Structure 1
Amino acid sequence: MNPKLAEATRLTREGRLSEAMALIRDTVSGAPAAPHIDPDVIDLAPPGAPSQPWSLRPAAKPRPKAKPRAPETPGRFTSHSFSAPQGRRSYKLYVPQGHDGPLPLVVMLHGCTQTPDDFAAGTRMNALAEEIGFVAVWPEQPQSANMQRCWNWFNTGDQQRGQGEPALIAGITREVMAAHNIDPARVYVAGLSAGGAAAAIMGACYPELYAAIGVHSGLAQGAATSVASAFQAMRQGGSGGPAQAMPAIVFHGDRDATVSPVNGAQVLAQFTPPADPTLKPRTETGASPGGMGFTRIVHEDAKGQPRAEHWLLHGAGHAWSGGSPAGSYTAPEGPDASREMLRFFLAQPAA
């Protein structure tokens, strides 16, 4: 089937008839769909495409996508499934050895085309779980929900509490909390790209469940309400939902050609109300051991405790900063986003 007609079929099944008809008309006429863009991948470059360079020197040759490996740690990385009225999702769970509970919990949401194993290999979050002592859970988006395994952050039904994917992710979180010795005041959610946008949605919809969020190369909750507006938000940013106070740490490359860096600033603004007089920003610059420069804006409370952070990665594209080449969409030369997120999270227990 013609890819555009296949997409029109999918839109029809979702009840989005006006978008489907517009796509069919454009396909028949031969004219490009406007403002529609071929949604083969909603937010990550197709596998094998060269990533954006993260320094001013020439970009290295694209790496072949490595096969995801099991974590090289002594803990348990096991497969599970969760079902609810909203649907069913599989997930992977990493439980470290040798750590007394109650333990923190970190929910990790992968990007398009990725899997929990791939995302775990790239972020090395399971190794940090073993080192620091926390449980990591990796929900999986199946192709039956999105052909490119993207979390559907741009659908209104997947942006609201008690509905769609937010309800499923929250259900997985609660299931793990009930089955393991988890500290309910130290539960966090993070993600990359589509997963980063989904993490923002979870923070907005379930502020009582998550103590802090981490958004890498993502978008604000409510930045888009359709496929067409998703591409517009990725290029230009989106207004998002109302501001609400929640600890948030954001990473974004300033040469991200897939999700514009303006989105990172909008995520931070969504969770850092400008009228909050208790927060004072300070700015610092630096470079990672691998040579990637960054600007870090930290919003501190009256006690000097960081409550929000924005890392703008200079020269970086659409990839997890400081990640491992064992996973896809990583920028190994950047600051270690995984370790920085954990540092920020563990300083942010729920009130």
Structure 2
Amino acid sequence: MTSHRADMFEALRLTREGKLVEAMTVLRGGSSEASPRDIQKGQESRAGTPRAPFVDLVPPSDSTGAWSDAAAPEGDLRTAKPGGTSSFRYHTVRDAAGSRRFKLYSPAGHDGQPLPLIVMLHGCTQSPDDFAAGTRMNELADQQKFFVAYPEQPSSANPNKCWNWFKEGDQRRDAGEPLLIAALTRQILRDHAVDEERVYVAGLSAGGAAAAIMGATYPDLYAAVGIHSGLACGAARDMPGAFSAMRQGAPAAQRLARNERVVPTIVFHGDRDTTVSPVNGDQAIEQASGGSGVRTRVSRGETPTGIAFTRTTRYDRQDRCIGEQWVLQGIGHAWSGGSGDGSFTDPRGPDASAEFVRFFLQHRLAA
């Protein structure tokens, strides 16, 4: 027993130092000196797309002296940080439209005061852990104090884990996936200290298209929307239409309905995106801003890595900012400024996560 507990302490120490391969070796009964082959495997795992959740050990809570794996069975991740403890754990929402798991990140140092909430909708083939790693949104949550929710789209709902943005039944209020996402948002509002006037939704690719749908169908729930490499609500109504819209935007014959109520929206899109044509970014921002009474201001910049961008800010008749559109030169179908720890990211671009958070936090839900 003493040897076992010593191994657990050693594994915990290595985990906190980020030496996950060595920690797993100790737990399997080996030495903390991992072999070159094990280290290479660990590096390949970290460089890949979805990474396996690491083991987070929790001290014994009873007389047995047994340490437990906080990740089991729901994949709960707790990380000790100065000023408090953050948590990243699975929850489930159930309603008439079905059920979905989601991961909720609670920032370190939260003192119980109501905080903003950002709902992050991943892209195809991604997972909550992968999307969190690639966007680094949890790091920003610790810095600026807000909750982050990551709904999980299972393969049972879509073989590629895509949100079904192209189905008419998933483009309406109080039906299908919009109902599920709204229900889990409301569940978080009910169960946690969330500022109801500062709730936001964002997504990448299929998740970006789903975020556009949430802004169009639940303008009374979300104060602002973020769309990265996505499409407008209603850009397609079936699978063939989805592939067509991804290549060339919604067809001219299919007039996109403008949002009945303007929800401030920020759009990021790379001009080299060959998966979702950049014209979809144009259509998404037009739909969200309502069209009439809009003036714009254009600015340009370049990142230290040489990626140029154009930022168009939109204002309503009261001179309130209602939208931003960022066109990124040389960026493909990837989260701009993201981390290589996640899939579909391009670290060279402007930091989309930071810009989304900045844009979100300057908006509150309109009365």
Common fold: TM-score over 0.5: yes
**What is the one-letter code of the residue matched to 2:333?**
H
Task: Give the alignment of 1:137-152 within 5 angstroms.
Answer: 137-152=149-164
Is 1:232 paired with 2:274? no
Would you say the 8 A contact 2:48–2:343 is kept in 1? no
Match of 1:249 among 266, 279, 296: 266
d(CA) in 1 for partners of 2:256, 2:228: 16
After superposition, the CA RMSD in angstroms is: 1.6
Deviation track 1:275-315 (CA, whole Å, cap 9, x = no partner) reads 12xx4200011012322110000013467543200000001
Q: Which residue of 2 is the match for residue 85 of structure 1?
A: 96
Q: Which residue of 2 is the match for residue 290 of structure 1?
A: 305
Would you say the 8 A contact 1:109–1:199 is kept in 2? yes
Is 1:108 paired with 2:123? no
Would you say the 8 A contact 2:48–2:342 is kept in 1? no
Task: Give the alignment of 1:1-351 within 5 angstroms.
Answer: 64-65=48-49, 67=51, 74-100=85-111, 101-238=113-250, 239-244=255-260, 245-276=262-293, 279-301=294-316, 305-351=320-366
Measure how far apart 1:318 and its partner are: 0.2
Would you say the 8 A contact 1:217–1:264 is kept in 2? yes
Residue segments in structure 2 that go unaligned for 5+ positions in a row = 1-46, 55-76
Deviation track 1:222-276 (CA, whole Å, cap 9, x = no partner) reads 0000000001111111143334411000000001000000000100000112212
User: Sequence identity, in percent?
Assistant: 55
- SS of the residue corresponding to residue 75 of structure 1 reads strand
- TM-score w.r.t. the length of structure 2 is 0.75
Measure how far apart 1:97 and its partner are: 2.2
- SS of the residue corresponding to residue 257 of structure 2 reads coil
- SS of the residue corresponding to residue 210 of structure 2 reads helix
**What is the one-letter code of the residue matched to 1:85?**
A
Residue segments in structure 1 that go unaligned for 5+ positions in a row = 1-62
- TM-score w.r.t. the length of structure 1 is 0.79
d(CA) in 2 for partners of 1:242, 1:143: 31
d(CA) in 2 for partners of 1:223, 1:66: 29
Would you say the 8 A contact 2:271–2:331 is kept in 1? yes
d(CA) in 1 for partners of 2:145, 2:52: 23
- SS of the residue corresponding to residue 221 of structure 2 reads coil
- Structure showing greater radius of gyration is 2
Deviation track 1:198-239 (CA, whole Å, cap 9, x = no partner) reads 000000000000000000000000000000000111111114
- SS of the residue corresponding to residue 247 of structure 2 reads helix
Higher relative contact order (CA 8 A, sep 6+): 1
**What is the one-letter code of the residue matched to 1:95?**
S
Would you say the 8 A contact 1:223–1:241 is kept in 2? no
**What is the one-letter code of the residue matched to 2:258?**
P
